[in-house]
Amino acid sequence: MKTLILKTASNYLLPLLLVFSVFILLRGHYLPGGGFVGGLIAAIAFVLHAFANGLDNTKGLLRFHPGFLMPVGLGLAFVSGLAPVIGLDDPFMTGLWFPEPFPVIGNVGSALFFDIGVYLVVIGVTLTIIFTISESA
C-alpha cells in the first residue's frame, strides 16, 4: 500500500508499539497483560510495518527468520521452569524471586522469564504464519 501517511506513521508506530508490548508484558503478573498479549502486540507492530513498507523491508528489518524465535522462546520458558529443579531441587516451575524489586521493572523472578519465553514464541508463530500467507498470496 503506497500512502505516504501510513508509511510515515508506521515508522513511528513500530518502536512505540514495541515499547508498549514490553510494557504489557511486564505488567502482566498481577494485572491484565502478559507474554501472550504482549507478543501479539509486538507482532502487530511488524505486520503494520509490512503493510506500509512491503514485506521485504520488514524482513530486512528483522534480519532473521521469525520462526527462529519459536525454539528460542520455548527454550527460555523451559529453562525458567527447570531452574528450580537444578538450583534448589524444588518441584518443576516453582517460582524463584529476587528478594528486592528492581527499579522500573518491579519484582523479577523465574515467572518473568517464562513470560518472556511466551512473548517470543507468540511473536515467532504469528509472524511466521502471516509472512507465509502473504508470501503465497
Partner 1 sequence: MTQQLILYPLLLQMLLAIILMFFWRKINAQRIISMFGSLAHLAVSITVFAFIWNNGTQTVQAGSWEAPFGITFIADTFSATMVLLTSIAGLAVSIFSSGSVIGDRLRFGYFPIFHFLLLGLTGAFLTGDIFNLYVWFEIIIISSFVLITIGGEKAQLEGAVKYFTLNFLASMIFLTAIAVLYGLTGSLNMADLANKVAAVENRALVEITAILFLIGFGIKSAIFPLYFWLPASYHTPPSAVSAIFGGLLTKVGVYALVRVFTLIFVDDVFLDQILLVLAIFTLFSGALGALVQNNIKKVFSYLIICHIGYMIIGLGMFTEVAIAGTIFYLVHDIIVKTNLFMISGLIYRIKGSNSMRALGGFYANYPKLSLLMFIPLFSLVGIPPLSGFWPKISLITASFESGSYWSLAAIIFASFITLVVIAKLWAEVFWKDATEIPVRPKFRYFHAIKNIKRVQIIVPIVFLSLVSLYIGFGAEHIQTLSARIASELMDNQQYIDAVLNTQTPE
Contact residues for partner 1 (CB under 8 A)? 67, 70-71, 74-75, 78, 82, 85, 89-95
DSSP letter, residue 58:
H
How far apart are CB 95 and partner 1 at their closest, in Å?
7
**Could you report how far apart the first and last alpha carbons of the chain are, in Å?**
15
- Residue 98 gets the label, from left (phi > 0), alpha (psi -120 to 50) or beta, of beta
Considering the complex, state which of residue 25 and residue 69 has its C-beta at the smaller distance from partner 1. Answer: 69
Which residue's CB is nearer to partner 1, number 41 or number 111? 111
- Report the nearest approach of partner 1 to the CB of residue 120 (Å): 12
The nearest distance, CB 67 to partner 1, in angstroms, is 7
Alpha helix positions (H), 1-137? 4-27, 35-53, 55-62, 69-88, 110-136
